Amino acid sequence: MTISVVDYVSSSPEETRELARGLGRRLRKGGVIGLSGPLGAGKTLFVKGLADGLGISGAEVRSPTYVLMMEHIIDPVRKLFHLDAYRMEGDAELVDLGIDDAIGHDHLVVIEWVERVLGALPHDMVHIAIEIEGIESRKIVIRDEGELFFPTSIEPFPPRPVERPNDAPE
């Protein structure tokens, strides 16, 4: 299995959404994307951009904090399941929501606050960490363990990657 780790720096919410939109356009199969970052980092904004790239209006995407899961139609076969694990007690609550029915099919499952439910998720997922660097700037680290965004047959999406020295740890 190939693991790709790519860092980006976004200087505005618009750039963050555009990065996510571009990544959404690259998705050709289902999988699991886990988002982590502090409150206000832009996790829901990132999901709005992914939705835009998938052909779903980002305006339809809202934070599922109180409902836990929202479902959006990508096409007649695929759906986007957007979850917020912030209020979840752990893995069992995610399983009780029926997430197993979405994982392993062509659906895309995106989970905010993924660190709260990692035990219920496959290992070959994408982890996206969003760190607040300034008022509007964000460092976005994408670790793609399932070749969802960066299959080995194509070059990585290059909006504004941060260069890593060859000897830098991942």
Tens digit of each residue's pLDDT (9 = 90 or more) over 101-132: 888 778 999 999 999 999 899 888 999 999 99
CATH number, domain of 75, equals 3.40.50.300
Residue 151 lies in a domain: no
Instruction: Please tell me the predicted confidence (pLDDT) of residue 27.
Output: 82
Does the pLDDT of residue 157 top 80, yes or no?
Answer: no
Model pLDDT, residue 84 = 92
Q: Is residue 170 part of a domain?
A: no
Q: Is the pLDDT of residue 10 over 50?
A: yes
Check residue 26 and give its pLDDT: 84
Q: Is residue 120 part of a domain?
A: yes
What secondary structure letter does DSSP report for 152? T
**What mean pLDDT do residues 6-30 have?**
90
Q: Is 100 a member of any domain?
A: yes
Is 165 within the bounds of a domain?
Answer: no
DSSP assignment of 81-133, as one string? EEEE-TT--SHHHHHHTTGGGTTTTT-EEEEETGGGSGGGS-SS-EEEEEEE-
Q: Averaged over 29-50, what is the pLDDT?
A: 94
pLDDT of amino acid 82: 94
Domain assignment present for 42: yes
Domain that holds residue 36: 4-144
Domain assignment of residue 34, yes or no:
yes
Say if residue 153's pLDDT is above 50.
no
At 57, which helix (H) or strand (E)? none
| Count of domains for the chain | 1
pLDDT at 89 over 90: no
Q: Which pLDDT score is estimated for 156? A: 45
Round to whole Å and give the CA distance between 170 and 160.
18
**Whether pLDDT at 45 is above 70:** yes
Q: Extract the tokens encoding 131.
A: 């760190």
Q: What single-letter amino acid sits at 84?
A: D
Note if the pTM is more than 0.75: yes
Query: What is the average pLDDT across 81-100?
Result: 88
* 103 in any annotated domain: yes
Does the pLDDT value for residue 154 go beyond 90? no
Does pLDDT of 65 surpass 80? no
